[in-house]
Amino acid sequence: MCTKWPRLAGKNAVVTGASKGIGAGIAKHLAAEGAAVVVNYGSDKEGAGRVVAEITAAGGKAVAIGADVSNPADIARFFGESAEALGEIDILVNNAGIYELAPLGEITPEHFHRLFNINVLGIILSTQEALKYFNPRGGSIINTSSVVSIGSPAYVSVYGATKAAVDGLTRSFSKELAARKIRVNSINPGPIETDGVHAQGLIETFIALGEQTALGRVGQPEDIAPGVVFLASDESGWMTGESLHINGGLK
């Protein structure tokens, strides 16, 4: 089979949580493959602007639009503006999420709801609203999960529970949306070096985890983005309801 290049030419993509880290890498890779991209941000407008500038400097098309994915009114406005900017949506990447550690004795309702509101409710609201603007010919939805959805390390019980929920949403949505020719899959990254990891003082922990992988290093956002491009493209046309683990061989 001959694959067309660039693989996403003529497609429109929305990436939530794309001002930095994994989301920024995804947005730039989608654009490099020909997609026009909405770079969503929660609070980091400057970071989103840098991602857009890098995409446009390379000849791509991108716009930055802010929104809180856990706020229904905000997300309705966001997708309306996204459709005005680019037109029908072909690709949705539900990447917005937060990572927080909390041992069992320190879990609070605030911690629980903060993580579930962004990591789980945010995907539900974004997917519901995006469907109003999806291309009638179908498309692809990719949710960002994590290896902790099944790995279940200590001190990340609530975060891990949110990612297990993401895997469940992925499988269920894939069945609901198949009739609309919309495929739904997830990516499940292993330890990735991001600005957020550095900001939380966790980089040494992540480097140590990376050294435990079969490939012996911590991952980078650029290691994750090609998997998203694959799931967004016709090359994965018979894949839906799957979780793609990209973790350097972490066991």
Cβ contacts of 229-232, under 8 Å, gap ≥ 24: 229/7, 229/8, 229/29, 229/30, 229/33, 231/140, 231/142, 231/183, 231/185, 231/187, 232/8, 232/11, 232/13, 232/30, 232/35, 232/91, 232/93, 232/140, 232/142
Cα(164)–Cα(233) distance, rounded to whole angstroms? Answer: 25
Residue type, 142: I
1 pLDDT tier (thresholds 50, 70, 90): very low
Q: Tokens 């429109």 map to which residue?
A: 12
CATH of domain 12-192+221-243: 3.40.50.720
CB 122 within 8 A of CB 69: yes
Q: Could you tell me the residue ranges of all domains in the chain?
A: 12-192+221-243
* Average confidence (pLDDT) over 186-209: 87
34-38, 165-169, 190-194: segment of lowest average pLDDT: 190-194
- To the question of pTM greater than 0.75 for the whole model, the response is yes
* Average confidence (pLDDT) over 125-130: 98
56-103 tens-digit pLDDT: 999 999 999 999 999 999 999 999 999 999 999 999 999 999 999 999
- Answer yes or no: 159 catalytic: yes
CB 15 within 8 A of CB 47: no
182-189, strands of its sheet edge to edge: 62-66, 36-41, 12-15, 91-94, 139-144, 182-189, 243-246
Q: Tokens 């050294």 map to which residue?
A: 211
Residue 2: predicted pLDDT: 47
Q: Which of the following is catalytic: 41, 99, 133, 159? A: 159
Cα(228)–Cα(239) distance, rounded to whole angstroms? Answer: 12
Give the tokens for residue 121: 């409710």
Rounded to 10 degrees, the C-alpha dihedral 201/206/208/213 comes to 180
